Amino acid sequence: MHAVRARAGIPIPASDLFGIDGRARLEKTALAGPYAQGVTSLLKLIDELDTEEALFNTRIAERLQGHAGYQAIQQQPGIGTILAAILVAEIGDIHQFASPDRLCSWAGWLRGTTSPTPSSAAATSPSRAAS
């Protein structure tokens, strides 16, 4: 979309080209034949993908509706339905963790702890290992 617009030499001043304002500007922009067709095609594709995403979001929400962990994790700021579903799938049975600290450690969420992995690529560099 950006490339089509750039090739046509038409800037669209919107911070989010695919948001409501940017989309309205795109639809109003007069473009020559192939450019107009390209933008129309891409907007239709975006609409199709948005429809599919909405369908899967609905299915996920329905499937996890009664899951206590799914509901609880969404109480955290910035965690919506999709990230909550991903976390539920990744964590699995919450009872496998003896405590919240164990879960946080497994997920790498504990503050002030050191990671068991080296902090730099240099620490694992083959050239340094040979020295």
**pLDDT tens digits along 41-95:** 888 898 999 999 999 989 998 999 999 999 999 999 999 889 999 999 999 998 9
Strand positions, DSSP E, the chain: none
| pLDDT given for residue 127 in this prediction | 45
Per-residue pLDDT, averaged over 15-19, amounts to: 70
**pLDDT confidence bin for 125, thresholds 50/70/90:** very low
| pLDDT given for residue 12 in this prediction | 61
Distances (CA, A) of 45 to 18, 29, 38, 51, 63: 12, 18, 11, 10, 27
How buried is 85 (Cβ within 10 angstroms: 0-12 exposed, 13-18 middle, 19+ buried)?
A: buried
Half-sphere exposure of 15 (CA within 13 A, CB side): 0
H/E stretch holding 14 reads none
